[in-house]
Amino acid sequence: ALLRRFGSKERLLRAFTRREVLRTEAVFCAAPARARRPLAELEATLRDLGRRLGEADALAAYLAFLHTEMRDPEGRALLAGAWRTCVEAFRRWIAAAQAAGELDVAPGLEVALAERARVALDGALMGWTLVRRGRLEDWLVAQVLAVLEPHVPAGTSPWTPERCEPTPAVDPWRPPAGGEEGGRT
Q: What is the DSSP string of the chain?
A: -HHHHHSSHHHHHHHHHHHHHHHHHHHHT--GGG-SSHHHHHHHHHHHHHHHT--HHHHHHHHHHHHHHHTSHHHHHHHHHHHHHHHHHHHHHHHHHHHTTS----TT-HHHHHHHHHHHHHHHHHHHHHH--S-HHHHHHHHHHHHHGGGSPTT---S-TTPPPPPPP--TTSPPTTS------
CA of residue 175 relative to chain centroid, distance: 24
| CA dist., res. 131 & res. 56, Å (int) | 10
| CA dist., res. 87 & res. 95, Å (int) | 12
What average pLDDT score do residues 38-67 get?
Answer: 84
Give the amino acid at 71.
R
What average pLDDT score do residues 178-185 get?
Answer: 46
pLDDT on residue 33: 55
| CA dist., res. 29 & res. 12, Å (int) | 25
- 90, 32 Cβ separation under 8 angstroms: no
CA of residue 60 relative to chain centroid, distance: 14
Higher pLDDT: 65 or 158? It is 65
pLDDT on residue 97: 92
Q: Is the pTM of this model over 0.85?
A: no
pLDDT on residue 15: 76
Closest C-alpha among 141, 185, 163, 166 to residue 49? 141
What average pLDDT score do residues 99-106 get?
Answer: 93
